[in-house]
A and B are shown apart, each in its own frame.
Chain A
């Protein structure tokens, strides 16, 4: 066996994405929701890198850098929102903040 078929890399990315999506729908704690989002972004980045190495083009890795930047921005804003949620409701349960007050 020499070489990895590109499909296997994409299948791994799909599995990770589905796991992250299941976690996103399953959990109610905001920490776990944020971590599921990280998993999903990471699987998208994995698909980019698989494409980059399969066709030997560096564009996919440049896009990977952009995805990492996006993940860092998302994590920082999400964690700040999580701290605010905890300070207001003393819990990380997202359902606690489901009531909208104008």
Chain B
């Protein structure tokens, strides 16, 4: 269990580095899928099989397939952004430094907090999670349903091929003849 945890954690970190330093969009998406599956393995090693299965099904199975479809649809290719971003330290030094400072602060807080719990791999089954969800957390489930509905409406409105609002605006601009 411990070996599985540390190995999958290492894989997750390395795959995430591959995501943020990649140039080809498809490779980056596949790296992100590897990272998510490694995090799912971490969940299995921690003793949360329900969360691990959900991570694989929803994250790696649904969300990342959406990413892959969009990348395929837009027909993206490795762009020349990398030369602009990576050759000069001026571009990557600041963000990396800020992220490192934040990481250091988080680690110092964790060390100072003195959490001494040890995860012994006791299983937290889907039954317990479901009883919590549909008992005291019922309102959260309904809020999640409303959130998903709002996201569906927003995505279908924003993602339309031709936006009538935009067409009307450009028509007004042409008629008005503003400079």
Q: A18-B99, A35-B67, A73-B150 are contacts. A68–B58 as well, Cβ < 8 Å?
A: yes
Task: Flag if A69 contacts B2 (CB, 8 Å).
Answer: no
Q: List chain A residues, Cβ under 8 A from B20.
A: 19-20, 22-23, 26-27, 32, 36, 39
Task: Flag if B140 contacts A66 (CB, 8 Å).
Answer: yes
Q: Which of B36, B51, B70, B92 contacts A82 (CB 8 A)?
A: B70
* Interface status of A97 (Cβ within 8 A of chain B): no
Cβ contacts B121-143/A at 8 Å (1 or 0 each): 11010001101110001001001
Number of A positions contacting B (CB below 8 A) = 71
Task: Flag if B71 contacts A31 (CB, 8 Å).
Answer: yes
Q: Which of A6, A46, A86 contacts B42 (CB 8 A)?
A: A46
Q: A20-B16, A31-B25, A50-B119 are contacts. A42–B39 as well, Cβ < 8 Å?
A: yes
List 17 A-B residue pairs with CB atoms under 8 Å apart, sorted by A's residue number: A7-B115, A10-B115, A16-B13, A17-B106, A27-B85, A31-B28, A39-B32, A39-B35, A52-B48, A53-B46, A58-B124, A66-B140, A66-B143, A76-B66, A76-B152, A80-B158, A81-B158
Residues in A lying within 8 Å of B, measured CB to CB: 1-12, 14-23, 25-29, 31-32, 34-36, 38-39, 42, 45-46, 49-50, 52-56, 58-59, 61-62, 64-66, 68-77, 79-84, 86-87, 92-93
